[in-house]
Structure 1
Amino acid sequence: MRTWTIANQKGGVGKTTTTVTLGGLLAQQGKQVLLIDTDPHASLSYYFGVDADTLTSSVYDIFVNKATIDADTVLNCLCPTKVDGLYLLPASMALATLDRQMGSEPGMGLILKKALATVSQKFDFALIDCPPVLGVLMVNALAACDKVLVPVQTEFLALKGLDRMMKTLKIMGRSLDKQFDTLIVPTMFDRRTNAAIKAQARLMTDYKQDVWQGMIPVDTRFRDASLAQLPASVAFPKTRGVHAYQQLLERLSVSKAHG
């Protein structure tokens, strides 16, 4: 199982859209895909019509039952989606209490990694949608992955947030003794605005080695797809936004072939 974490310490940059669309494309290729919501705001869960306030089991249970985690514990938390092969491990509001409850306990950063290892034979891919805050949840998501995707809105305030995220990855890499395979994904690109064009140019200058050469355009169909509780690749497969994510997935597949 390959695990990708979608992370940025700034909200509203397209993390959930990236998680859902890539997950949908992979499922449409016949892959078994697990989407994991580690954000207490539960945007990924709500996307698929799962109400985080009424759940009886969620990713929170994995942390609470960390001492006895097994495949059944994980599988019992899963929700199916409307797409064959695409499953959701939903979030709950209780996740917001984890840092206070368990943040200082030893081994807290590796719980999600251990949990995913128990179901690694059942899925081809796991995609983890992160909260925009560095805490025990983001630490777990980073420790569990073999690739980090960093969506960045093509505007200057978002670039400031990217600087912070890249520093976090360096610090976390030293702490976990791993070098993150990182790809920055420019999102919400509007070629009609000078600000977006300048921000894209700045990205390429400052982070050339780590930036995907393409970009995800502004596309209102992403919003329409969320209303339908479907990945845009299923609801509106011919749109430019989906085409851009297809190109991104091809880039990720190439990196796998060479990695």
Structure 2
Amino acid sequence: MRVWTIANQKGGVGKTTTTATLAGLLAEQGARVLLLDCDPHASLTSYFDHDPDALEHSLFDVFDSDFTNANDLPNNLILPTAHTNISLMPSSIALATLDRKISQKPGKGLVIKKLKQAFKGEYDYMLIDCPPVLGILLVNAMAACEQLIIPVQTEFLALKGLERMMQTINMVTKAQKHSMQYLVVPTMFDRRTKASIATLRNMRDEFGMHLWPKVIPIDTKFRDASKAHQCANFLYPDCRGVYAYRQLIKTLKQAESAEQVA
């Protein structure tokens, strides 16, 4: 099972949209996808029409237990979505207490990595939607992934969140003692505005090979898809936003193939 982590230490940059759309495209290709909602705000959980306040179990149960395999976890922890090949491990507000509750627990930064092993063989991909703050959840998601995807809105304030992400990547890399594969993805690009164009230029100058050379444009179809609780590619397969994500997933798959050959 491959793990893709979608993260940025700034909110409102398109993390949940990116997670849901990439999941939809992978499912479209026949892959079995498990989504992890690591954000206490539970946007991904709500996206797929589950009320986080009404759920009996959530990802919090994983951190609060000493599981060794999938059978040790609650049977109804993984929820269905509107799409056959996509399952969801939901979030809850209880996740906001994790940093305080398990701060002294041994192995607290490797819980999701352990979860990956517990579900090995049951899914082809695990996609993780992260909170916009540095803490146990973000560190866990980064420690478990083979590919880190960093959506960045093409506006100047978003670059500050990107700077913090680079610091976090350096921290996790030093702790793991090996480099992390990451890709910065420009989102919400509006070619009509000078701000978007200037920000994209700055990103290209600063991040070079780590910056995806294309952009995800502003597209109201993403909002419509979230309202319908479905992945955009199943509802609007030909819209410009989905087309852009198809190009992104092609890049990610090519990187996977190159890694396997190496």
Q: 2:171 — aligned with what?
A: 171
Q: 1:232 — aligned with what?
A: 232
Contact 2:233/2:242 (8 A) holds in 1: yes
Q: 1:2 — aligned with what?
A: 2
Q: 2:79 — aligned with what?
A: 79
Structure 1 CA distance, aligned partners of 2:161 and 2:115? 30
Contact 1:62/1:74 (8 A) holds in 2: no
Q: 2:157 — aligned with what?
A: 157
Contact 1:52/1:92 (8 A) holds in 2: yes
What secondary structure, in the 3-state scheme, does the structure 2 residue paired with 1:207 have? helix
Quote the offset at 1:160 in angstroms: 1.6
Question: Unpaired runs of 5+ in structure 2?
Answer: none
Structure 1 CA distance, aligned partners of 2:6 and 2:26? 15
TM-score normalised by the chain length of structure 2: 0.96
Q: 1:203 — aligned with what?
A: 203
Q: Does 1:43 align with 2:32?
A: no
Q: 1:68 — aligned with what?
A: 67
Quote the offset at 1:13 in angstroms: 0.2
Contact 2:24/2:231 (8 A) holds in 1: yes
**Aligned pairs, number:** 258
Contact 1:74/1:119 (8 A) holds in 2: no
Assess, with a 3 A threshold, how the Cα gap between structure 1 residues 74 and 124 changes in structure 2: closer, same or farther: farther
Quote the offset at 1:151 in angstroms: 0.3
Q: Deviations over 1:193-228 (max 9, x none)?
A: 011001001100000120000100000000000010
Contact 2:79/2:88 (8 A) holds in 1: yes
Q: Deviations over 1:207-250 (max 9, x none)?
A: 01200001000000000000100011111111000000000000
Contact 1:155/1:196 (8 A) holds in 2: yes
- Structure 1 runs of 4+ off > 3 angstroms? none
Comparing 112-121 and 149-158, the one that deviates more: 112-121
Question: Unpaired runs of 5+ in structure 1?
Answer: none
Structure 2 CA distance, aligned partners of 1:135 and 1:150? 17
Structure 1 CA distance, aligned partners of 2:12 and 2:194? 20
Assess, with a 3 A threshold, how the Cα gap between structure 1 residues 123 and 218 changes in structure 2: closer, same or farther: same
TM-score normalised by the chain length of structure 1: 0.97
Q: 1:249 — aligned with what?
A: 249
Assess, with a 3 A threshold, how the Cα gap between structure 1 residues 124 and 75 changes in structure 2: closer, same or farther: farther
Quote the offset at 1:179 in angstroms: 1.2
Amino acid at match of 2:69: D
Q: Deviations over 1:159-185 (max 9, x none)?
A: 121011111101111012231100000
Quote the offset at 1:11 in angstroms: 0.4
Query: How high is the sequence identity, in percent, across the aligned residues?
Result: 50
What secondary structure, in the 3-state scheme, does the structure 2 residue paired with 1:166 have? helix
Contact 2:57/2:74 (8 A) holds in 1: no
Q: Does 1:119 align with 2:126?
A: no
What secondary structure, in the 3-state scheme, does the structure 2 residue paired with 1:36 have? strand
Quote the offset at 1:68 in angstroms: 2.5
Quote the offset at 1:3 in angstroms: 0.2
Quote the offset at 1:75 in angstroms: 5.7
What secondary structure, in the 3-state scheme, does the structure 1 residue paired with 2:161 have? helix
Amino acid at match of 2:105: E
Aligned residues: CA RMSD: 1.0
Quote the offset at 1:25 in angstroms: 0.5
Q: 2:26 — aligned with what?
A: 26
Assess, with a 3 A threshold, how the Cα gap between structure 1 residues 75 and 125 changes in structure 2: closer, same or farther: farther
Amino acid at match of 2:67: T
Amino acid at match of 1:144: A
Assess, with a 3 A threshold, how the Cα gap between structure 1 residues 237 and 195 changes in structure 2: closer, same or farther: same
Contact 1:78/1:90 (8 A) holds in 2: yes
